[in-house]
Amino acid sequence: MARPLALTEQTFIDFFARCARPVRPRPAVGIGDDAAVLDLPPRSQTLVTTDLLTDGVHFHAEWTTGALLGRKALAVNLSDIAAMGGQPHSCVVAVGFPRSTTVAYTRGIARGLADMARSHKVALVGGDTCAARALFVNVTLIGLVEKGKAVTRSGARPGDHLYVTGTLGASAAGLSLLSGRSRPGPGIRPTASPSCRRRAIRAHLDPRPRCAAGRALGLTGLATSMIDLSDGLAQDLPRLCAASSVGAVISRSALPIDRLATALFGPDEALHLALCGGEDYELLFTARPDCDPMVTALARRLNLPIHRIGQILPRRAAIRTVDNKGRYRSLPAGAFEHFPR
């Protein structure tokens, strides 16, 4: 049986600091002082984002290892920086541990964070720990972007084409499996292979932020607006449209529905997962119509599928989907809501 948490705050910080070395970029003053001191390059603007992951709300510790939780806690913040066209730089981490948390689990979180940080050249420069009733991990990430180059949600204009990176629905399919403890249930195809199940679960527990794509879209100026898909296309597209004061239409047949979602749940449910599931952490962006060839070339260079899924409409237009028979429908409800009524 795993022994209960025996680390003091200082011993956890010391272990965390060891995991964080070597850090690049190196802070002028890092972990061990009252505050970190960072040397930020000139002629750049600073991006700051934060995400809080709480057990029972954003994840379940019973099916999430410490290492995967650490990786995801940083990944969701990296996705925010990518959606602004920025480059991640440094982060601080706050963690709350219930008394039942094991030493192995806390060290897994530290190692997962450090592994993701090294992969994306992020310096772990500090943070805080405390006792808590529910396990939580909060990461605040600093990113950099050239002055005037930040890609916001407010730059879409009527006539722009609407794109999404990667595929949609695998993460939501994985969550559905986890919620059903990976056994066949209503909607789950009992013939789905164990490999499909494992890969869908991994897609949910270990998302891969599109940092290279976001950075390239920002530097080239291709993206006129951008948002990451954390709460689902049906939730995040209206946010982009509201910020830009526009409408939009999505072609259902053009949606890049992940094959795992279809294999596990069938085409109808997979479509719903792609629209409403959330936590894909792909990038939804707009570009001028004459930029289609350049977007295609970028996708080829990054070896990343980028799909055109619709078009931006004038403000008076609603946000709708259209099928291959020309039938229009409103966006479905059911996307993730932090404060449901």
What are the pLDDT digits (tens) for 231-246? Answer: 999 999 999 999 999 9
Checking if the pLDDT of 4 tops 50, the result is no
For 211, residues 6+ apart whose C-beta sits below 8 A from its C-beta are 78, 79, 81, 82, 87, 88, 120
Domain boundaries, the chain: 9-146, 161-330
Distance CA 206, CA 213 (A): 18
pLDDT for 23 equals 64
pLDDT for 5 equals 44
Query: Could you give the angle at which helices 170-179 and 267-276 cross, rounded to 10 degrees?
Result: 100
State residue 276 phi and psi, 5-degree precision. -120, -10
Kind and range of the H or E element at 162? strand 161-165
pLDDT for 239 equals 97
Checking if the pLDDT of 21 tops 80, the result is no
What are the pLDDT digits (tens) for 311-336? Answer: 999 988 889 999 999 999 999 875 55
Q: What is the DSSP string of 241-294?
A: HHHHT-EEEEEGGGS-B-HHHHHHH-HHHHHHHHHH------EEEEE-GGGHHH
CB contact at 8 A, 64 and 178: no
- Helix locations, the chain, DSSP H: 9-20, 66-83, 103-119, 170-179, 194-205, 211-220, 233-244, 259-265, 267-276, 292-302
Distance CA 229, CA 165 (A): 10
Percent of the chain with pLDDT over 70: 89
What are the pLDDT digits (tens) for 180-210? Answer: 844 444 466 766 788 999 999 999 999 999 9
Percent of the chain with pLDDT over 90: 76
Mean pLDDT, residues 253-271: 95
Cis amide linkage into residue 289, ω under 30° from 0 = no
Mean pLDDT, residues 123-135: 92
pLDDT for 2 equals 46
Q: Is 154 helix (H, G, I), strand (E, B) or coil?
A: coil
Checking if the pLDDT of 341 tops 70, the result is no
Mean pLDDT, residues 290-316: 97
Kindly report the pTM of this predicted structure.
0.92
Kind and range of the H or E element at 90? strand 87-97
CB contact at 8 A, 314 and 158: yes
**Selection from 90, 70, 54 nearest residue 16 by Cα:** 70
Checking if the pLDDT of 170 tops 70, the result is yes
Domains 9-146 and 161-330 agree in fold? no
Distance CA 263, CA 132 (A): 40
The domain made up of 161-330 has a fold known as Phosphoribosyl-aminoimidazole Synthetase; Chain A, domain 2 (3.90.650)
Mean pLDDT, residues 48-63: 95
What CATH code would you report for 9-146? 3.30.1330.10
Tokens of 23: 């850090």
